[in-house]
A and B are shown apart, each in its own frame.
Chain A
Amino acid sequence: MRKNIKLWAVLFWLIVWQVVSMRLNQQILLVSPVRVITRLSELIITKDFWLAIAFSASRIIGGFIIAVIISCLLAVLASRFKRVDELLAPFMLTIRSIPVASFIILALIWFSSKNLAVLISFLMVMPVMYSNILTGIRTIDSKMHEMAQVFEIPPIKQMRYIYIPHIFKYFESACAVCLGLSWKSGVAAEVIGMPDGSIGECLQQAKVYLDTPDLFAWTLVIVCVSLFFERLFLLLLSKIKILVLRMD
């Protein structure tokens, strides 16, 4: 879908936004894009802006990475042992079905808000990642396994050149979905929990003081930071893939 986004279309919608904002002439209701950029340029030069990004990013990405590691382990176990798969199925379904807001409120009762984003990002990412990796493992072609058996390919080589590249496709698409998901859920958790110095707290402050330029500026920041991490992570994955598949 992103490949379909053209610059002219983006400019068109920005102009529409600017015109509607000028016609309304109510900065609280709809701030103009020019005002958002101006506010953003003011925020960028402050130390607190970068500290807030670092605070939220470290927690959200931390939760994402923990979810990736645990989902990989659980998916391998579930593919190997039927009972593990059966045991985890209701757990994963429950996590998927419960609204994120319920988790956030529940987590706030149990823990402090400081690391809330880690837990929420983890909970949102894990079921998606787990089911994708498990599907990847389950769709490995048994014919390729037979080929490896006949040609007596050592297990490590089988893993590296046959199985991992296949599972990687599922892992990659899960990462693309989950990185955006972790940011959305992580920031939502921060808005409700309001840990000091987080992006969520800045958003909440903007809401309390009806500071629409701040609200739009921080929203833009979240989108940009989320996209940046998504691109960075996918680029890293493609490099890892090249390394894994390289044959000397």
Chain B
Amino acid sequence: MQDIKIQNLCKAYGEKQVLNNFSAIFGYGKITCIMGKSGAGKTTLFRILMNLEKQDSGTIIGLQNKKIRAVFQEDRLCEELDVISNIRLVNAKNDKKTVQNALCKMGITENKLVSTLSGGMKRRVSILRALMSEFDVLFLDEPLKGLDKDTKQLVLHEMKGYFQNKTVIMITHEIEEAEFFGGKIVGIEV
């Protein structure tokens, strides 16, 4: 397994240059936090790394044949499915009991339809879906956005348990979150 190396990444939308010669190394099996102002290109960087968009120029090494998973800025859950089914949709190897236990640890005790959940609950389901999928590299785009202080602490502790020897890259605006994981912090500027 190798580090993820990004060299001179550029991306523009029309006249607007979003990423300008961005370079970074994300260590294999490490947690890296990306911080920067809104509009600095953090989400665009993630989209390029997840192969949802193409860069204008620059190279990315170390993501080939890797199982990439993500917590998006939005929940992106199947509203018509219940909580357990949403999590099992991305990894059927998880049996219902295991998912139920993991949900309890996240403070979700009932297997309701996602459409009936509160915003905070949906967020936690979205996080757990990514954590319980099999992944080599996990991208987290402001995963704790919208959660209250206590729930944030609960989720942060739970997340840490899934991060052992995994490459995790997280976008956050909160320095406390970055410090909690104790990994490298990468700044991104326009």
Residues of A participating in the B interface, judged by any CB pair closer than 8 Å: 143-144, 146-147, 149-153, 157, 161-162, 165-166, 245, 247
Contacts and interface: CB of A to CB of B under 8 A. Distances in A.
B81 A161 contact: yes
Given A143-B74, A143-B76, A161-B81, A150 B89 contact: no
Contacts of B74: 143
Nearest to B85: A247
B78 A161 contact: yes
Contact of B52 (A150, A153, A161, A247): A150
A162 B72 contact: no
Contact of A150 (B68, B78, B79, B81): B68
A207 to B, nearest CB: 48
B32 interface: no
A165 B52 contact: no
Given A150-B50, A150-B70, A151-B90, A144 B76 contact: yes
A147 B80 CA distance: 16
B88 interface: yes
B15 to A, nearest CB: 24
Nearest to B73: A143
B109 to A, nearest CB: 20
A242 to B, nearest CB: 10
A137 B81 CA distance: 19
B42 interface: no
B69 interface: yes
Contact of B69 (A143, A151, A162, A245): A151
Interface in B123-156: 129, 133
Given A150-B50, A157-B89, A161-B89, A143 B72 contact: yes
Q: Which of B69, B72, B78, B85 has the most CB of A within 10 A?
A: B78
B79 to A, nearest CB: 8
9 contacts: A144-B78, A149-B52, A150-B68, A151-B69, A161-B78, A161-B85, A165-B78, A165-B79, A247-B88
Contacts of A144: 76, 78
A161 B74 CA distance: 18
A159 to B, nearest CB: 12
Q: Which of B67, B89, B133 has the most CB of A within 10 A?
A: B89
A162 B76 CA distance: 10
Nearest to B96: A247
Contacts of A153: 89-90
A108 to B, nearest CB: 45
B81 A147 contact: no
Contacts of B67: 152
Contact of B85 (A151, A152, A245): A245
Contacts of B79: 165
Contacts of B51: 149
Nearest to B70: A150
Contacts of A245: 80-81, 85
A147 B73 CA distance: 11
Contacts of A166: 80
Contacts of B50: 150
A42 to B, nearest CB: 48
Interface string B74-112: 101011110001001110000000000000000000000
